[in-house]
Structure 1
Amino acid sequence: MDIKQLKFLIALDETRHFGQAAARCHITQPTLSMRLRNLEQELGLELVQRGQRFEGFSEDGKRILAWARTVMAAHDGLYAEAAACRGQLVGTLRLGVVPLAGFDPMRLVKQFAEAHPGLRFELFSLSSEQILERLSSNQIDLGLSYVEHLDRQHYQSLELAESRMGLLYDQRYFQLPNQPLNWEDLAELPLGLLSSGMHFRQSIDHNLRSRGITPVPRLETDAVHQLLQAVSAGTCCAVIPLNSGLNDFTENLTLTPIEDAHTLAPLGLIMRGLGQRSALAQACFDQAKILLLNEK
């Protein structure tokens, strides 16, 4: 067994396709299949369910896959730790972010990139539940998510900011007063909202319903870029966090604060608990602390 076989196994899980997994690993598909069969023979287990195409992992395969992720995380952590001992920070920082976070993740990425030119970044749009799941399984290093009900024994968090809300609209299609709005002002507007059940949407619904307003959105989506496209097309207005950075994409977008509007839970940067975190995650977490301290 070698580390590449585990890398191939993880790539297959993430792509769910033999050809795509092979392309990601820069090898041919027959080579990937042969190396995975060699791994199965060495372990004496069938890991991958095969038909004419990839059909999933066996129950044994799912258990081995979890170990493969742990081993790969330790492997990557070893190199990152060695670089940290040399005063360097290298590798790939994997950051999970909830949709419409009330803190612009690019502020963190920009600071990390400027301080450590050798870093690469992978960003994932995930629900708050998915962020905790991927943190616990070493699939991401840090999460930008809500910190309510966070298990402080297994996770450490840095509260970033209270997520206040505003109304985003395109001034070519809507003329609204350039002053704070109230929730009642939104009742007659065509609203575009994230899909029902998403955390930020729950906060919007709570604010509206607590004032006797039942939201009837013109458009619902689980993708932030589609929401921005709809606003730019004049299809709707959208309630978004004030400090998300999303209102800066075009000069026609205007973001007006809504009075007494905030999310149900504070937003924070989350990391695995002591003994489970990588040197990379710890360094970036500490740097985020400095960023916030300098802004106070």
Structure 2
Amino acid sequence: MDIKQLKFLIALDQTRHFGQAAALCHITQPTLSMRLRNLEDELNLVLVTRGQRFEGFTEAGERILGWARTLLAAYDGLQAEAASCRGQIVGSLRVGMVPLSSFNPMQFLQPLAQRYPELQFQLSSLSSEQVTDGLSRNQLDLGICYLDQINTAYFDVIELGSTSMGLLYDTRHFEFEQPELSWEALGELPLGLLSQGMHYRQSVDLSFRSRGLNPLTVLESDSTYQLIQAVCAGMCCAIMPLQYGLEELSEHIRILPISSASVHAPIGLLLRRTEPRSALAEKCFAEVKAMLGEQG
């Protein structure tokens, strides 16, 4: 067994496709299949359900996959630790964050990239629960999520502030004269909203319900990009965070503040307290803390 076999297994889990997993690992599909069968032979287990195409992992495969993630995280941590001992910051920083908040992650990712050009980033859009779970399982290095249900006994936390909301619209399709909108004014507008179940969406729904309003929801999506596409097409407006950098995407995009509109729970940057945690994660967490301190 070697690290590459575990990487192949995880690539298959990510893509759910043998050919795509092989391409992700820069090898041929026959080589990928052979190496995975070698792993199965060594473990004396069937890990993958095969047909004409990938059909999923067996129960044993799911359990081995969990260990593979842990071992790879430890391996990456070892490499980052060795680099740190050499005075370098290299590797891939895995960051999970909630999809909508008033904190733009580029505020710290860009300075880190400029300061450490060999550093790479993996940014995933997740729910708060998925962020904390990924940190706990050592599948993420840092997390950005809402803090209302965070047990600080398990995480180091940097509070990033609360999330205020505004109405995102395209000036080619909508026009507003007032500098701020009320929730009542939004009641008759076609809206694109984040999918139900997400923390941000729950705050939006609560704001409407508490005022006895039923919004005209024409589109729901778990993708911020798709919501912005719909706004630019004139299909709808969208309730988005202020200070999110969205107005920079197009000369036609504007965002108006909504009165009394905010997510009550603050956003925070999280680092797990328990070992193993990589030197890379610790260093970047400390760097971000210093950056935010300087800005304050």
TM-score range, shorter chain: over 0.9
TM-align CA RMSD: 1.5
- Match of 2:12, SS state, is helix
Matches within 5 A, 1:5-154: 5-154=5-154
Residues of 1 paired with 2:237 and 2:21: CA distance? 40
2:285 is aligned with 1:290: no
Question: Helix, strand or coil: the match of 2:65?
Answer: helix
Distance 1:165 1:54 in 2: 43
| Distance of 2:46 and 2:190 partners within structure 1 | 54
Alignment of 1:160-171 (within 5 A): 160-171=160-171
2:123, 2:145 → 1: CA distance? 13
Distance across 2 between alignment mates of 1:247 and 1:7? 39
Partner SS state of residue 5, structure 1: helix
Q: CA deviation at 1:159?
A: 1.2
CA distance in 2, matches of 1:153, 1:272: 9
Residue 176 of structure 2 corresponds to 176
In the alignment, the residues of structure 2 paired with residue 166 and residue 123 of structure 1 have an alpha-carbon distance, to the nearest angstrom, of 24
Deviation at 1:18, TM superposition (A): 1.4
- Is this contact kept in 2: 1:101–1:144, CA < 8 A? no
CA distance in 2, matches of 1:89, 1:164: 34
Distance 1:151 1:5 in 2: 36
Question: Deviation above 6 Å: which 4+ runs of structure 1?
Answer: none
Per mean C-alpha deviation after superposition, the further-off stretch among 60-69 and 146-155 is 146-155
Cα distance in 1 for residues equivalent to 2:29 and 2:15: 13
Q: Distance in 1 between matches of 2:156 and 2:224?
A: 27
Unmatched runs of 5 consecutive residues or more in structure 1: none
Matches within 5 A, 1:218-237: 218-237=218-237
Residues 181-231 of structure 1: per-residue CA shift (max 9 Å, x gap): 222221222222112222211111111221222222132222111111111
For 1:186, the equivalent position in structure 2 comes to 186
Instruction: Give the aligned residue type for 2:114.
Output: E
Q: What is aligned with 1:214?
A: 214
Say whether the 8 Å CA contact 1:80–1:280 is kept in structure 2.
yes
Structure 2 Cα separation of the partners of residues 214 and 236 of structure 1: 16
**Percent of residue pairs bearing the same amino acid type:** 58
Q: Which residue of 2 aligns with 1:265?
A: 265
- The CA deviation at 1:178 is 4.8
Cα separation, 1, equivalents of 2:27 and 2:175: 56
Q: Deviations over 1:78-134 (max 9, x none)?
A: 110111112210011111121112211122210110111101111112222222222
Partner of 1:148: helix, strand, or coil?
coil
SS in structure 2 opposite 1:164?
A: strand
**Partner Cα separation in structure 1 for residue 243 and residue 277 of structure 2:** 28
Deviations 1:235-261 (A, max 9, x none): 221111112112210111111111221
Alpha-carbon shift at residue 264 of structure 1 (Å): 3.1
Write the letter of the residue equivalent to 1:219. Answer: L
Alpha carbons of 1:291 and 1:31: their partners in 2 closer, same or farther (altered >3 Å)? same
2:111, 2:149 → 1: CA distance?
Answer: 29
SS in 2 for 1:61: helix
Deviation at 1:172, TM superposition (A): 2.3
* 8 A Cα contact 1:190 1:235, kept in partner: yes
- 2: CA distance, partners of 1:46 / 1:192: 45
Aligned: 1:241 with 2:244: no
Instruction: Return 112-121 or 136-145, whichever deviates more.
Output: 136-145
CA distance in 2, matches of 1:167, 1:178: 12
For residue 267 of structure 1, report the CA deviation from its aligned partner. Answer: 0.9
Q: Write the deviation string for residues 60-92 of structure 1: whole angstroms up to 9, x where unpaired.
A: 222211111111111111110111112210011
